[in-house]
Chains A and B, each alone.
Chain A
Amino acid sequence: MNGRRIFASPRALAILAAVGVGLIALLFLARTLHREGYRRIGTNIYDVPTHAIVPPGKRLCQPGEWVPHGTGAVYPWVGGENGKPGGLMTLTVSAPGGQVLATGRSSPTFPTGLNRFKLDRTIDHDVRGATLCFTNRSHETAFMYGSPASGGIKPAQAPAYQDGVPAAIRLDYYAPGVVSYWSQLGRIADRFPLTKAGFLGPWSFWVCMVVLLGLAAAAAVRIVREAPR
């Protein structure tokens, strides 16, 4: 009887439709936020239009780096010559005074692109002015990609550069293990107001999320109220 009444009422049907689709959307959201993966916690530059050349046995050092706390792996954009796979490389992360903070290594072979160098320990505090040195332990030349050094970005100390143009190497910093989006929300909120209007703070991220959910709810209520009873 009640079911028949629901199907006779356009408004009840609209409520059912809105709630049903809304629940599916919320399930998708929850699933996405639960998904685990490696999460980037910092980066130095973004473009990789050029590269430095590291012959077998040689070393490249990138000075002046900000290594964020919680870094457990470093991802340089690296590969073999002209897009070929790269070979084994090792890494040391040093404080400005020269003290080695962590070491890491690549896989024995890897495709050209962002590649994971897992560190032997997690960096537990922000390190400014750190130096990251990569040594090519393979028998093939390695290309390490980045941007021409300009402004405040220091060039890498590399054996050679493409076209002789000094370049800074792109480095991404990652948390040591897999984490969910849920656990990253606080960090996202901290990053959110950077290089924006001065009055914005981490709170603005949470406000945006609440406002978006509120808008969706308001729109659903508004459309349902337009339906005839």
Chain B
Amino acid sequence: MSVAAPAMPGGVRPLARVRARAAAVPRGFWACFVIAFVNACVWAVVTPSFQVPDEVPHIGYVQYLAETGRVPRPMDTQAGHFDPSQEELAAMAGVPFSYQGTPSWDPQNDRGVQKALSGKLDRKHEAAAGAAANYPPLYYALEAIPYRVFEGGSFFDRLLAMRIFSALFAGFTAGFCFLFARELFPGSRWAALAGGLAVAFQPLMSFVSGGVNPEALLYAASAALFFAVARTLRRGLTMRRALGIGAALAVALLAKGTAFGFVPGVILALALMIWCERKQSLRPLLKPAIAAVALGVVPFLAWLVFGKIFFDRPAGTATAGLSATTASGGGINAQLSYVWQLYLPRLPFMHDLIAFNVPRIIWFDGFVGRLGYSSYAFPQWVNNLALWIAGGLVALAGVAIVRFRAAVRARWMEVLVYFTMCAGVMGAVGLAIYRLSSFGAPVAQARYLLPLIPVYAALIALASRAGGRRFGPAIAAAIVVTMSAHGFAAVMLSIHQYYT
């Protein structure tokens, strides 16, 4: 017997409202979202278990949180130290875990592991969070959802569920990058779409987001923050937009402390908006500005204070500042010089602190595709080809800037804000690298700078616009196909690494 549910206006309205909201989102957002999400899902399936950076402690954190409802306390937070739960250990034993990451491909071994995992193994182990225990809990709490939904499945089933859930953040990253580029270049949808799709196919972003790693959420929140700031700078500060900025910043900070680098840029953006309206009443602007900062920063500060009081948790990794004790030693001057040399050529008065070309080898080649535990990468000729392509894109972007120089000049404040946001994150990442590295050998990976991936989307969009209305779409199409081929090649590279 079936009973037709009566039409309940109260029940239908919220659904209709959600539908209307979704319909109001530009279609380009959904295109970028779906393509980035599905692409990251492919990465989630292709990458062997535990071969995404630091996946072992991140899974340990989720597992403990999901199984007990409690945030793990920091016990042994030494990087590279693993103390997994009994179940995770059994899975790791089956997947030969290494920085080189070549599984044995023995089907009997696979059957043995799956059988071992079907037994009753302990899942509650607080120390399993390892070095990740210092991280804020937001990402792990979200990942606990798929973990709980697939609680009855094997460990590998739950791992795949967590990875696919994480892939959603790749969708949001690409979608918000599209919206950011669209906000910057409202007149040409194809340019913004090219930016969003280039992000959707970016191999490093897809690889990390297709694993269990809180950086996936950080990238999405950072992209949302860039979009929220751009929208506010373009359309004016309202309470709703301010809350958007605050929410994006709060999520980014609660995903990873690196996002603290965004705070100066956000404060600058709000201050500039108030300054622009200084001749009128400031009151209507002060309220949303304060709300944005409060919503953005207070949850993170609360986390730091509660962590310190209740769990004796250290007050931050990348956020520890210039005076922190470091493995490399050195004072403030040395730290500033070191951070400078991570990104730019050494100035004459600086000591040579890093012996190799970090911008090229770590940041550029890494962005093109250094995957796994930074254990494999494209052959050098591919990196060289990518450098030529990147040079071409920068040249095209330069042409567009010259062409639209009047508009660029009129928007100097926006440029200053984005520059400050980038410099803040680069500084926070640089200090963290300084603190964690031994002298001359920076522990740096290109993924640390992926919170700035909206800048990449903006560069692609800008380059597409160099061709104007006639040739611009053709440039955009060529870029998108090139980037999709780049993403495909990176998957093939991973297949070569792990399965041949």
CB <8 Å contact, B157 and A198: yes
Chain B residue at minimum C-beta to C-beta distance from A189: B499
CB <8 Å contact, B471 and A10: yes
Q: How many residues of B contact A (CB 8 A)?
A: 66
CB <8 Å contact, B500 and A220: no
A-B contact pairs, 18 of them (CB 8 A): A15-B477, A17-B475, A17-B478, A18-B481, A22-B485, A28-B485, A46-B96, A66-B108, A188-B499, A196-B160, A198-B154, A208-B45, A208-B491, A215-B39, A219-B481, A223-B193, A224-B473, A226-B190
Q: Which of A177-212 contact B (CB under 8 A)?
A: 181, 184, 188, 190-192, 194-200, 204, 208, 211-212
CB <8 Å contact, B474 and A42: no
**Partner among B38, B477, B499 whose Cβ is within 8 Å of the Cβ of A191:** B499
CB distance from A72 to the nearest CB of B (A): 16
B residues within 8 A CB of A192? Answer: 46, 499
Chain A residue at minimum C-beta to C-beta distance from B198: A219
CB <8 Å contact, B160 and A42: no
CB <8 Å contact, B159 and A20: no
CA distance A92 to B200 in the complex (A): 51
A residues within 8 A CB of B473? Answer: 10-11, 13-14, 223-224, 226-228
A residues within 8 A CB of B68? Answer: none
Chain B residue at minimum C-beta to C-beta distance from A66: B106
If A25-B485, A208-B45 touch, whether A44 touches B104 (CB-CB below 8 Å) is: yes
**Partner among A21, A190, A198, A213 whose Cβ is within 8 Å of the Cβ of B114:** A198
CB <8 Å contact, B98 and A195: no
CA distance A51 to B489 in the complex (A): 36
In the assembled complex, B357 has its CB within 8 A of some CB on chain A: no
A residues within 8 A CB of B472? Answer: 10
A residues within 8 A CB of B499? Answer: 188, 191-192
A residues within 8 A CB of B487? Answer: 212, 216
CA distance A28 to B103 in the complex (A): 28
A residues within 8 A CB of B103? Answer: 191, 194-195
CA distance A41 to B470 in the complex (A): 51
CB <8 Å contact, B104 and A219: no
**Partner among A21, A190, A194, A212 whose Cβ is within 8 Å of the Cβ of B39:** A212
CA distance A223 to B460 in the complex (A): 13
If A188-B500, A195-B94 touch, whether A215 touches B484 (CB-CB below 8 Å) is: yes
If A208-B46, A223-B190 touch, whether A21 touches B478 (CB-CB below 8 Å) is: yes
CA distance A195 to B90 in the complex (A): 11
B residues within 8 A CB of A188? Answer: 495, 499-500
In the assembled complex, B303 has its CB within 8 A of some CB on chain A: no
Chain B residue at minimum C-beta to C-beta distance from A192: B499
If A43-B102, A195-B110, A220-B484 touch, whether A215 touches B38 (CB-CB below 8 Å) is: yes
CB <8 Å contact, B481 and A21: yes
In the assembled complex, A222 has its CB within 8 A of some CB on chain B: yes
Contact with B along A55-75 (1 / 0, CB 8 A): 000000000001010000000
CA distance A6 to B324 in the complex (A): 62
If A195-B94, A208-B42, A212-B39 touch, whether A222 touches B193 (CB-CB below 8 Å) is: yes
CA distance A39 to B194 in the complex (A): 38
Question: Can you add 5 more A-B contacts, CB < 8 Å, to A195-B103, A215-B35?
Answer: A68-B105, A200-B45, A219-B480, A224-B477, A227-B476
CB distance from A115 to the nearest CB of B (A): 17
Contact with A along B36-54 (1 / 0, CB 8 A): 0011001001101100000
In the assembled complex, B492 has its CB within 8 A of some CB on chain A: yes
CB distance from B437 to the nearest CB of A (A): 22
CB <8 Å contact, A198 and B474: no
If A42-B105, A208-B491, A220-B484 touch, whether A10 touches B110 (CB-CB below 8 Å) is: no
Contact with A along B77-120 (1 / 0, CB 8 A): 00000000000000101111011111111111110011000000
Task: With a 10 A CB-CB cut-off, give which of B28, B477, B480, B482 has the most chain A CB atoms.
Answer: B477
**Partner among A40, A211, A219 whose Cβ is within 8 Å of the Cβ of B484:** A219
In the assembled complex, A16 has its CB within 8 A of some CB on chain B: yes
Chain B residue at minimum C-beta to C-beta distance from A10: B473
In the assembled complex, B153 has its CB within 8 A of some CB on chain A: yes
Task: With a 10 A CB-CB cut-off, give which of A45, A128, A195 has the most chain B CB atoms.
Answer: A195
Instruction: Say whether chain A's binding surface is mostly helix, strand, loop, or mixed.
Output: helix
CB <8 Å contact, A46 and B31: no
Q: Which of A2-60 contact B (CB under 8 A)?
A: 8, 10-11, 13-18, 20-22, 25, 28-29, 32, 39-47
Chain A residue at minimum C-beta to C-beta distance from B159: A197
CB <8 Å contact, B492 and A32: yes
CB <8 Å contact, B474 and A14: yes
Count of inter-chain pairs, beta carbons less than 8 A: 184
CB <8 Å contact, B477 and A227: yes
CA distance A152 to B499 in the complex (A): 22
Chain A residue at minimum C-beta to C-beta distance from B31: A222
CA distance A183 to B160 in the complex (A): 29
**Partner among A25, A43, A208 whose Cβ is within 8 Å of the Cβ of B481:** A25
In the assembled complex, A151 has its CB within 8 A of some CB on chain B: yes
CA distance A45 to B104 in the complex (A): 7
CB <8 Å contact, A211 and B480: no
B residues within 8 A CB of A211? Answer: 38, 42
If A46-B96, A197-B159, A219-B35 touch, whether A22 touches B481 (CB-CB below 8 Å) is: yes
CB <8 Å contact, A184 and B500: yes
B residues within 8 A CB of A208? Answer: 42, 45-46, 491
Interchain residue pairs A-B with the least CB separation, the first 3: A227-B473, A25-B485, A216-B484
If A21-B482, A29-B488 touch, whether A14 touches B476 (CB-CB below 8 Å) is: yes
CA distance A216 to B189 in the complex (A): 19
In the assembled complex, A100 has its CB within 8 A of some CB on chain B: no
CB distance from B104 to the nearest CB of A (A): 6
CA distance A127 to B153 in the complex (A): 32
CA distance A212 to B493 in the complex (A): 14
In the assembled complex, B469 has its CB within 8 A of some CB on chain A: yes
In the assembled complex, B419 has its CB within 8 A of some CB on chain A: no
A residues within 8 A CB of B189? Answer: 226
B residues within 8 A CB of A13? Answer: 470-471, 473-474
CB <8 Å contact, B48 and A195: yes
In the assembled complex, B306 has its CB within 8 A of some CB on chain A: no
B residues within 8 A CB of A149? Answer: none
CB distance from B498 to the nearest CB of A (A): 8
Chain B residue at minimum C-beta to C-beta distance from A153: B96
